[in-house]
Chains A and B, each alone.
Chain A
Amino acid sequence: MLEVIWLIPAFPLAGFLLILLFGRRLGDPKAGYLAATMVLASFVVAVGAFFDLRTMPAEERQHVEVLFSWVPVSSLHIDMAFLADPLSLTMCLFVTGVGFLIHLYAVGYMHGDPKFSKFFLYMNLFVTSMVVLVLGENLLVTFLGWEGVGTCSYFLISFWHTRDSAATAGKKAFITNRVGDWGVMLAMFWSFQAIGSVSYSALNGAAESGALARSTATAIAMLLFVGAVGKSAQLPLYLWLPDAMEGPTPVSALIHAATMVTAGVFLMTRVSPVLEASAVWAPQVIAWIGALTALFAASIAVAQNDIKKVLAYSTVSQLGYMFLAIGSGAYVAAIFHMVTHAFFKALLFLGAGSVIHGMHHEQDMRRMGQIRRYMPITAGTFIVGWLAIAGVPPFAGFWSKDEILLFVLADNIALYVIGIVTALLTAYYMTRQVIMVFFGEAKWESHAEEHGAHGEFKPHESPPIMLIPLVVLAGLAIVGGLIQLPSFGWVPSGAQHQLENWTEPVIEFAEADIAGTWADGHKLILIGIAVASGLIGIALAWLVYQRKRFRPVEPQLLEEGWKYDQTVSAFMGGPGRKAFEAVAWFDSAVVDGAVHGVARLVRGSAGEIRKAQTGNVRNYAGIVGVGVVLLLAWFVIFRGVM
Chain B
Amino acid sequence: MASTLFTRKPRELSYNPKRPIWKEKPSALYQTIKAVVLVVFSLSILTPILLVVSTSLADTEQLVKAGGFVLWPERPTLEAYATIFKGPMVLQSLGVSMLVTAVGTILALFVTITMAYATSRTVLFGRPVILAVLFTLLFAPGLIPSFLMIRQLGLLDSLWSLILPGIFGAFNFVVMRSFFMNIPGELIESARIDGANDWQILWRIVMPLSKAVIAVVGLFYAVGFWNSFFNALLYINDHSKWPIQLLLRNFVVQGSGAADQLGITTTPPPQSIQMAVVVVALVPILMVYPFLQKHFAKGVITGAVKG
User: Are A and B a genuine interacting pair, yes or no?
Assistant: no
B residues with a Cβ closer than 8 A to A are none
A residues with a Cβ closer than 8 A to B are none
